[in-house]
Amino acid sequence: MANLASTFAGIRSPNPFWLASAPPTDKEYNVVRAFKAGWGGVVWKTLGSEGPPVVNVNGPRYGAIWGADRRLLGLNNIELITDRPLEINLREIKQVKRAWKDRAMVVSLMVPCDEESWKAILKHVEDTEADGVELNFGCPHGMAERGMGSAVGQVPEYIEMVTRWVKQHSRMPCIVKLTPNIADIRKPAEAALKGGADAVSLINTINSITSVNLDDFSPEPMIDGKGTHGGYCGPAVKPIALNMVAEIARNPETADLPISGIGGITTWRDAAEFMALGAGNVQVCTAAMTYGFGIIKELTAGLSLWMDEKGFTATDQVVRRAVPNVTDWQYLNLNYITKARIDQDLCISCGRCFAACEDTSHQAIAMSTDRVFTVKDDECVACNLCVNVCPVENCITMERVAPGALDERTGEVVPAEYGNWTTHPNNPMAKAAE
């Protein structure tokens, strides 16, 4: 059996699945239920400094995007950091950690951008015996307008400065949570590393408005006729998160920086993909809010079974395994040629592939009078659109045309002497090198 035990930034947990800082980790009751269900760790919902209380709205806090089957694809939230008193949160964190010593307990923090505020709250958190802190530099709404959250995360100099304060005034491992609301995710990751961060976590939520009420003409969720931008999360953000995780993992400056992957993780497969692209563990939020804490059983069982099938005995063997295969477009092999193939036994003659290709692609699919669909190899450029729109799994596949075989599109033999674009004669850089 695969061993799912995880050590991330020096923090141990029985499996790599943590609950992200969010409503599911706001209080002792929730966290204890999560640990009983089997979650490996939690990041306690973001604490603020002592001072004026945080006041959340009492109207709707979430907007949503659904698929055609009403499956939740994305959540937009306008909720702020915890509005519970600091002393109550700290007391509960200490109680939970003492009762669940084998689980990871990380505390998310967001305070004003001055050294004394950070020094003060770090002392309180250390007294709870928590395993580490996560610096919330990602929240795009509410707190950003107050000079915190993504307002800090979008300025690498601030990230480095605050991280340095945290490492100076604390013994705990420091995870820096990064905002995706930035042009180049590598820069804040590099800044966190320079400041002494033990790891980074990403992505935080994406600045967004999910919908507009067309009766009241206000963004939703709507509070007394008004709406605001919020943070977008859920399955829809997974591709963005995967790319940003990979960018940090393959950046020479941050290649050894531990990464906690966040963003739309709903299944064990999602988790495995994040890990393969560089994440040492993963954090889950929207899936738990949609299906409850019990999904951890599917996550751990699925990941364990897959690892067994692949011959992996520890999660470390999965982490970064796909990173060497992430490259820039210019290095892709232009001599790798495929063609679409339609399995007539599986085809239901819906015509989606024909409509998509005929109207918006390369007119490479023919339709007979009795609605039999076939591929015209001389027109097919293997764009994969037909595969993506087909409602029947594996009905349309892409089959490789091997080097040395006849390319029916051009009537020429596919050359085998050029390995990839870097050596291809049509590459201007290759010509310049010659």
Strands 17-19, 279-284: pairing kind? parallel
d(CA 328, CA 211): 35
Q: How far apart are CA 139 and CA 326, in angstroms?
A: 29
Which two tokens mark 209?
A: 């408005």
- Alpha-carbon distances, residue 279 vs 175, 247, 357 (angstroms): 13, 11, 37
Sequence-ordered list of residues with C-beta below 8 angstroms from that of 38, at least 6 positions apart, any chain: 15, 296, 297, 300
Please report, for residues 41, 57, 109, the alpha-carbon distance to residue 101 in angstroms, rounded to integers and kept in the order given.
10, 35, 21
Query: Which phi and psi angles does 312 have, rounded to 5°?
Result: -85, 135
Q: How far apart are CA 409 and CA 430, in angstroms?
A: 26
Paired tokens of 58: 């009492």
Query: Is residue 353 flagged as an active site residue?
Result: no
Dihedral, CA of residue 313, residue 318, residue 324 and residue 328, to nearest 10 = 160
Q: By the 8 A CB rule, do 246 and 323 touch? A: yes
Burial of 114 (0-12, 13-18, 19+ CB in 10 A): exposed
Q: Which of 139, 174, 347, 353 is catalytic?
A: 139
Q: Which amino acid is at 23?
A: P
Sequence-separated (6 or more) residues with CB below 8 Å from residue 292: none
Catalytic residues: 139
